[in-house]
């Protein structure tokens, strides 16, 4: 008889015994299920790659907010006058 020990979600051992030709197939199927479960648990413990995308989204939102503040500042009369005077002074030197 083939015996296969699997671990359920609670960490408890589950024992299955299968016999004969059908038992061999069932044991292989059970072993494959256990391996698949182990792979899923491994993948679940690895860091998520989607976190990088979320970080890019946060950076883009912050950059957009910064650009909006710059546009608002550059539209103000004080900044326009300051920049115009700088350009005039630079052109008069040349």
Q: If DSSP states are collapsed to H, E and C, what string results for 45-83?
A: HCCCCHHHHHHHHHHHHHHHHHHHHHHHHHHCHHHHHHH
pLDDT in tens, 20-48: 555 677 788 888 888 888 888 777 666 66
Whether 23 and 55 share a structural domain: no
Same domain, 8 and 29: yes
Whether residue 89 sits in one domain with residue 54 = yes
Other beta carbons less than 10 A from residue 67's beta carbon? 10
Same domain assignment for residues 57 and 31: no
The parent domain of residue 60 ranges over 50-93
Which residue would you say has higher pLDDT here, 45 or 90?
Answer: 90
Query: Cβ(1)–Cβ(17) under 8 Å?
Result: yes
- The total number of structural domains that make up the chain: 2
| Claim to verify: residue 63 and residue 83 sit in the same structural domain | yes
pLDDT at 60 over 90: yes
* 26, 56: one domain: no
CA–CA separation, 11 vs 91, rounded Å?
78
More confident residue, 28 or 58: 58
Assess whether 39 and 61 both reside in one domain.
Answer: no
Residue 47 phi/psi, 5-degree rounding, is: -60, 145
On average, the pLDDT of the chain sits at 77
Percent of the chain with pLDDT over 90: 24
């Amino acid at each position: 008889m083939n015996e296969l020990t699997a671990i359920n979600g609670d960490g408890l051992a589950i024992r299955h015994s299968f016999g004969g030709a059908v038992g061999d197939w069932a044991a292989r199927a059970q072993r494959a299920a256990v391996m698949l479960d182990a792979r899923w648990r491994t993948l679940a413990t690895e860091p998520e790659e989607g976190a990088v995308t979320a970080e890019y989204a946060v950076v883009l939102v912050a950059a957009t907010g910064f650009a909006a503040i710059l546009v608002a500042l550059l539209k103000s009369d004080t900044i326009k006058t300051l920049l115009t005077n700088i350009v005039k002074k630079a052109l008069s030197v040349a």
